[in-house]
Amino acid sequence: MTEAHESAGTGPGDAHFAVFTDLAGAAAVARSFTRPSSRTLTHPSGRPWLVGDWHDDEIVTASAGSAAIAVIGCCPVDADELRRRTARLRDLAELDALARRLPGSFHLVATLDGRVRVQGSASGLRLVFHAEIEGSRVAASRADTLAAALRLDPDVEELAVRLLWPAPYPLFETSLWRAVTAVPPQDAVIVAADGRTVRHTRWWTPPEPVTPLAEAAPRIRTALREAVGARTRQGGVVSCDLSGGLDSTSVCFLAERSPARLVASTWPGRDPADTDLHWAEQAAAHLPDVEHVIWDADASPLVYDDLLGIDDLLDEPTIGVMDRSRVLHHLPGLTARGSRLHLTGIGGDHVAWCSEAYYHRLLRTRPLFALRRLRGFRALWQWPPAGTVRALADSRPYGRWLAAAADHLRDPSPPSVATGLGWGMAPRLFDWVTPDAERMARRALLDAAATAAPLHPDRGLHTDLEQIRSCTRVIRQWDRMAARAGLPMASPFLDDRVIEACLAVRPSERVTPWQYKPVLTAAMRGIVPEACLRRTNKATASMDAADGLREHRADLLALWEDSRLADLGLVDATALRRLAQRPASRGLSDAILYSTIAAEVWLRGLSRGARTSPHL
């Protein structure tokens, strides 16, 4: 296996690539993917195996005879160990065990006797897609790379589905191009030696949530420490969000113990009731050797900032564009302080807490215990008694729930108790979405309902997994934006090993109305000071969103003046312009515009980008 390249690509944090079989036809296709900045790994024959952009710190490779393995992303795998495993490789299925053991967040790519295997992460943060191009099956880490090679336009029906708020599983995991197939995060794709035959094989299943918290807490602490260590072991300067919340505070204290020098970054909210700064300063007082930077709250961008100027090349619409300016705003200042990587606490809400929907099953297996807890949840979330009873009595399987949602797309938003104790939030469409778009979205829902199985039979674990995978769809795009801006980001809570350790905890100990994130509190005891573990809430930034709607009303109006979605017949631009003129309209504060804005901004980005060639 050899490598050739002209530059180091786009720098750490933005590794992307395509994978080719060891055939003459595939080699010809690979040449069309090669750019002046591309790097190439070759098969033993000398034909291209991987073509793309990555930094030296983002890849570990090994080869032996007809076998080769590449680990791309963040993974502290030992090169000698990888060489030994490669030499012993006799079946691609043996890589399941390796993928389930390694810490970090990465793609695992292998070739053996002419066959190719590619997988991402179970979290969904690292995805895999494939398509047939000129008779050869090509896999890639980005869907738009393959779509550009095929010179495809996005599928209108897929865009209609993305207007749902929210698009439920499995609809949000498809590619926006019909000829490009998305690989589910729990699967690997294997391309046969003929270069055409392809199959998906499952490599990951979630742990059953049966482990007592006392037993799980040390495992969670170890997994999170290894996740942070994978990013900080090389030393240098690393920055970290320090919002004062349990998630970012835990990452900060773990990073402070590493070889890296830490810069802690706090962005206070504008709301006078926001207590983030108080908690952040309390944490910083226990980190005397850490530089603590507190940004001016009023100087930070609001939600909806610079929507018209976004030019990132993304492979799907993302609601992350609403906060893009806010996410990137402080990165230059941290880069100026020497940071090579920015750590976040994102994902802690999704793994250290869990859905109340577990109590739907617990009511049937531990009724007295569940009833006591449900009374607490009712008081905490103000669930009405009748609605709570209806939600608990609803035992429809996932497919029937999806099918029923297709008949209620124009209904008012479902009550929070139905979402909290059900299969998730039932999707909705709003007044500005056209009847044609509704018909397409409804048909997609019904088609999915006919075959869809939940991510787990327990609706609580299904909801947890769906929320993790919805979150990573946003974060993978933010990570690309941040790398392009010059400072890569990483979210250790979203590493597979951390997710597994947290999901294994008994739900009765993960989510309770009486404690806030008991899993993280138990895991971080002895690392995070007790005073910092006492926080029992988090800021919502709702004031920043409301102010953003008012301040950026002109941009929202301009967004619909020449709407790509309207050109496709999916939205009524006149209705959206009227809405933009009334930013205080009921419902806008609940983010109901997000999916529509995400799709519009994405289409505009496609038209700006060069779609005539793959952007590897």
Please report, for the domain that includes residue 223, its CATH number. 3.40.50.620
User: Domain end: 461, 487, 507, which one?
Assistant: 461
| Whether residues 222 and 189 fall in one domain | no
> 71-82: per-residue pLDDT in tens?
999 999 999 999
Residue 616 lies inside a defined structural domain of this protein: no
Our count of domains for the chain comes to 4
Cα distance between residue 106 and residue 122, in whole Å: 10
Domain-embedded: residue 505:
yes
Q: Which two tokens stand for residue 470?
A: 């919805």
324, 399: one domain: no
Question: Is pLDDT above 60 for 4?
Answer: no
Rounded Cα gap, residues 115 and 285, in angstroms: 55
Residue 229, H or E segment: helix 213-232
* pLDDT tens-digit series, residues 314-358: 999 999 999 999 999 999 999 999 999 999 999 999 999 889 999
Please state, in angstroms and rounded to a whole number, the distance separating the CA atoms of residues 20 and 126. 18
* Same domain membership, residue 559 and residue 423: no
Q: Residue 240 in 3-state DSSP?
A: strand
pLDDT mean over 249-271: 93
Structure tokens that stand for 4 in this block: 């050739």
Round the average pLDDT of the chain to a whole number and report it. Answer: 93
pLDDT band at residue 432 under the 50/70/90 scheme: very high
Count the Cβ atoms, other than its own, within 10 Å of residue 441: 25
Tell me if 494 is assigned to some domain.
yes
pLDDT confidence of 612, banded at 50, 70, 90?
A: very low
Computed on alpha carbons and rounded to an integer, the radius of gyration of the chain in Å comes to 24
**Domain end marker among 159, 180, 202:** 202
Task: Read off the DSSP letter of residue 167.
Answer: P
Cis peptide before 513 (omega within 30 of 0): no
The reply to whether 128 and 19 lie within a common domain is: yes
Residue 522 CB partners (closer than 8 Å, separation 6+)? 213, 214, 217, 220
Backbone angles phi, psi at 187, to 5 degrees: -115, 155
- Note the pLDDT of residue 557: 92
Q: Does the pLDDT value for residue 268 go beyond 90?
A: no
Q: How many C-beta atoms surround the C-beta of residue 35 within 10 A?
A: 15
Q: Note whether 395 and 249 are same-domain residues.
A: no
Residues 357, 460 contacting (CB under 8 angstroms):
yes
Residue 78 CB partners (closer than 8 Å, separation 6+): none
Specify whether the CB–CB gap between 568 and 440 falls below 8 A: no
pLDDT tens column, 109-131: 999 999 999 999 999 999 999 99
CA distance 514 to 521: 13
Q: In whole angstroms, give the CA distance from residue 290 to residue 86.
A: 41
What residues contact residue 264 under an 8 Å CB cut-off, 6+ apart? 239, 240, 241, 242, 252, 280, 283, 284, 287, 290, 291, 292, 293
Within-domain flag for 208: no
One-letter amino acid for residue 4 of the chain = A
The CATH number covering residue 113 comes to: 3.60.20.10
Domain that holds residue 50: 3-202
- Residue 26's identity, in one-letter code, is A
Q: Is residue 225 part of a domain?
A: yes
pLDDT tops 80 at residue 469: yes
What pLDDT does residue 542 have?
A: 59
Report yes or no on 71 lying in a domain: yes
In a domain, 526, yes or no: yes
Examine the domain organization and report whether 50 and 163 are in the same domain: yes
- 369 and 482 inside one domain: no
Average pLDDT over every residue of 192-210: 97
Is the pLDDT at 611 greater than 90? The verdict is no
Q: Which two tokens stand for residue 24?
A: 């003459």
Pairing mode, if any, of strands 67-74 and 39-42? unpaired
Convert the pLDDT of each residue in 41-52 to its tens digit.
Answer: 999 899 999 999
199: β partners? 190
Examine the pLDDT at 444 and tell me if it is beyond 60: yes
Give the separation between CA 503 and CA 209, rounded to whole angstroms.
Answer: 6
Contact between 416 and 422 under an 8 Å Cβ cutoff? The reply is: no
Cis peptide before 170 (omega within 30 of 0): yes
CB 183 within 8 A of CB 190: no
Q: Which of 171, 202, 233 is the last residue of a domain?
A: 202
207 found inside a domain: no
